[in-house]
Amino acid sequence: MKIKKLMFFAVIITALLASCGNNNSANQQKEQNLDKNASYALGMSIGSEFLESMVSGQISPDTDEFIKGMSDVMKGKNTRLEFNEAMELLEKAFTSLMEKRNEGAQKEENAFLAENAKKPGINITQSGLQYEIIKQGTGPKPNADDMVKVHYEGALIDGTVFDSSYSYGSPLEFYLFQVIEGWSEGLQLMNVGSHYRFYIPSELGYGPNGRSPIPPYAALIFDVELLEIIEVNE
């Protein structure tokens, strides 16, 4: 989880900087000093790591206060907060921000699915799975315990493609019980030779936690071609 990664990273960096700030040997400090460009590069590296950890840049700190906190530790000054207090404060702040972000994501998902349901050709199952038929095949339908061969492309509702068998150059083979619920249900609706488009609610996908690169509460769009039901020799 990215928040835990950030918290861990913050603890490690703070500890390292504190140890540097407590080094009272002038000779050792002189030997360990980085030049200006290297020091700047270190700052870039730390800043980049933090931005990557902060939920893909969606959460940003007050830059001045961030730098002041680092500077106070590095220079051995009395900090405004005790270390344990600072960690508790961070945890609360990020929890609050994540709750707000997730609330926004849920609203976006619900709005998309509600609007999509109004479009011509959209079918909705009892579970909430939405699908449209691009091409109807005439072959058999798979069961829940079957292995299938498919071509597919997965995207977020903003159009970002996060996975595609077409890019691999070959279709994917798997058992239906190995994939997310939306896929398993949707594929059982398809005849071999069909091409469907699934609109999968997050509760039938990766839910409130997501799965990199899929964020929490993300509705997913999958174009799926069912090529074959694979006979498995037991």
Catalytic residues: 152, 162-163, 180, 206, 222
Q: Are 131 and 189 in contact (CB under 8 A)?
A: yes
CA dist 166 to 76, 173, 201, 225, Å? 56, 13, 23, 11
Q: Are 186 and 129 in contact (CB under 8 A)?
A: yes
Three-state SS for 46-92 is HHHHHHHHCCCCCCCCCHHHHHHHHHHHHCCCCCCCCHHHHHHHHHH
Written as six digits, the tokens of 230 are 């694979």
Q: Is 180 exposed, middle or buried (0-12, 13-18, 19+ CB in 10 A)?
A: middle
Amino acid found at 101: R
Coil vs helix vs strand at 129 = coil
